[in-house]
Amino acid sequence: MKSYYKRTIDATLSQWAKENDRKPLLLRGARQVGKTSAVRHLAKQEFRYYAEIDFNERTDVHYLFDGSYSPQQICQILSTLIRVPIIAGETLLFFDEIQACPNAINRLRYFYERYPEIHLIAAGSLLEFALERLPSFGVGRIRSIFMYPFSFEEFLIASGNEPLASMINSSSPYNPLALPIHNQALQLLRTFLIIGGMPDVVARYCTDGNLLECQHILSDLIISFRDDFVKYRKRIPSSRIDAAFRSVAEQGLGKFVYNRVDSESNTKQIKDALDTLIMAGLVYPVTHTAANGIPLGAEINEKYRRMLLFDTGLLQRLLNLDLSDLFSSNDFKVVNRGAIAETFIGNELIKASSCYSPQALYCWHREKAGSNAEVDYVVQIGSDIFPIEVKSGTKGSMQSMRIFMQLKDISHGIRTSLENFGLYKDIFLYPLYAIKNIYSTLL
């Protein structure tokens, strides 16, 4: 039995289990981010019985969801087949790989309408592609929650550094960490940038700290994802998807350029491949916003987008970076090879958002003769807009951020780097490892 490492989503799942007016849950996210493990942990903590149906393996039960059986009858038959009691209030029923049985997705709504007492969660590795074909499968009757790889805070807790995580959470630009604690956090951050947050990799690191084996697991994961490309969308060749996947890693900073992906493909083919990777949860777009007000998504320009991989460990593995340099150097440019820092920040912003809806990422860009400007991220905190720049030093003009603040009449900006918490005139300083603190300390 593998060890289970605490996840932030555990509290949300536990709360759901205790609710009286409860909808079936659809647990969504990329492959291998820990969805099944989190459900099994919930069952162990909160329920007497656990009934798991894998629709890839149990094709013999697909007929139960053709509309001929009520939710109660489905549960009775499943209970007999798998020899596990399915009792309302005592059993957690889990439909895994539900995309393999589209009828089962359609029937989820009837569990809420006709058998609301049962605790039901569904998930699937290619779920988003099935949902694309079922646009109104259960609006208002099913609750979606989104799951991602380990955040840095979750990694700290898993690796036995929960006191450090607590200290980071209680720090701010007005209450910086003691220098030795800050340095300890930076060292662990370097480790996390290298291994990333995929659960199998984190678990291996927490078991024996074997970084070489972590690299092997990352390689296995990349192969696994590539094997899945052929299953995503039949009309898009898997080779196009793979080329786009590699190019996201290789292009790094700045606007994503389609014609740098594959000289034999046209822009539409590459765009379709990218959209497929985004739907699979493997890539996050960062879209230009005019940022003239909230919501930030009201004025966007999808012609200017950056692309981020959903995990820094996979990024550095795809780029085959020199790990010794990442560990030993205090030079930000070395630490940030392949735009690892920007990728980490984007991922942390997403992981810090509500699990009930996917978080969009925004940037700001201006092209002007002799005065181009770009802000790495633009975020909304409460009713305020803040620009975020990922910087290499502890000084500098931060010209792009200044231009943005002046144009948009914004009073404060955020800089994140390897430096400690602090305040530099009208700029809040946050270390990379604590970027999520902006949501709790700037409200």
pLDDT in tens, 250-302: 998 789 999 899 877 788 889 999 999 999 999 999 999 999 999 999 999 99
Give the residue carrying structure tokens 């007005």. 174
pLDDT interval class at 324 (50, 70, 90) = confident
Give the orientation angle of helix 238-251 with respect to helix 267-279, to 10 degrees: 80
Q: How many CA atoms lie within 13 A of 338 on its CB side?
A: 26
Rounded-to-integer distance, Cα 96 and Cα 85, Å: 18
Reply yes or no: is the peptide bond before residue 176 cis, omega within 30 of 0. Answer: no
pLDDT for the residue numbered 395: 52
pLDDT for the residue numbered 392: 58
Rounded-to-integer distance, Cα 210 and Cα 323, Å: 13
pLDDT for the residue numbered 370: 67
Residue 385's alpha-carbon distances to 169, 359, 413, in angstroms, are 22, 15, 9
Residue 145's alpha-carbon distances to 75, 408, 443, in angstroms, are 24, 34, 24
The pair of structure tokens assigned to 188 is 């662990």
Neighbours of 340 (CB within 10 A): 24
Closest CA to 246 of 268, 266, 267, 229: 229
* Single-letter amino acid, residue 247: S
The pLDDT tens digits for 130-165 are 888 876 666 688 999 999 999 999 999 999 999 999
Residues 6+ apart with CB under 8 A from 344: 152, 193, 312, 432
pLDDT interval class at 397 (50, 70, 90) = low
> Model pTM?
0.94
The pair of structure tokens assigned to 234 is 């039949």
CB 283 within 8 A of CB 308: yes
| CA 199 from centroid of its chain's CA atoms | 12
Residue 309's alpha-carbon distances to 30, 205, 250, in angstroms, are 12, 21, 10
| Average pLDDT along the chain | 92
pLDDT for the residue numbered 427: 94
The pLDDT tens digits for 227-258 are 999 988 777 889 999 999 999 999 987 899 99
The pLDDT tens digits for 356-369 are 998 999 999 997 76
pLDDT for the residue numbered 369: 65
pLDDT for the residue numbered 326: 74
